[in-house]
Amino acid sequence: MNTSAINTAIEAMVSPFLNENGFELVDIEYIKEGSNWFLRIFVDKEGGIDIDECVRISEYVSEQLDTHEPIAGAYFLEVSSPGVERPLKKPKDVQKSIGKNVFVTTYEPVDGMKEFEGQLIAFDGEELTVRVGKKEHTVPYAKVASARLAIIF
């Protein structure tokens, strides 16, 4: 099974439990680092998630993985919060982040730039507007390579 299929299978497996318990699935990573494979599941909820909740989710996910075995071979399971610079993977994540500081990269230059760090002013599903300094940049959502919340010092 390829990485995308594994992520899809894991999402289908854990989403009902997470939704029933008030958690949001932020991201899933199944990646190789050195000689080891890691399955990382990033979960959040309104007000943040604590270590005891991560343990509870990890135990549930571990049971499901043992039962359904979507991954062949050994791997390390990690369940955690996405952190303060959480990725904005879905349009709803971007929408919820209006007014917050973000870091956006694009596949190709927009206004001569490929990186935008500033305040997310607007998002209409097609374009997002980021204020960098005193200038506003309108970025087509289709050109966004990655987006995350940002702490700007």
Q: What is the mean pLDDT of each run of 10 residues along the chain (153 residues)?
A: 84 94 93 94 92 95 91 92 90 94 96 95 95 95 95 80
Whole-number pLDDT of residue 1: 67
As given in the structure block, the two tokens for residue 135 are: 């200038």
CA angle 74, 77, 51 (to 5 degrees): 160
Q: Would you give the distance in Å from CA 64 to the centre of its chain?
A: 21
Reported as half-sphere exposure (CB side, CA atoms, 13 A), residue 7 has a value of 14
Residue 5 confidence (pLDDT): 86
**Torsion angle in degrees (nearest 10) through CA of 25, 26, 29, 33:** -130
Provide the whole-model pTM: 0.80
Domains of the chain from N-terminus onward: 3-80 (3.30.300.70), 91-149 (2.30.30.180)
The pLDDT value given to residue 3? 82
- Closest alpha carbon to 149 in 136, 130, 127, 134: 130
CA distance 12 to 38: 18
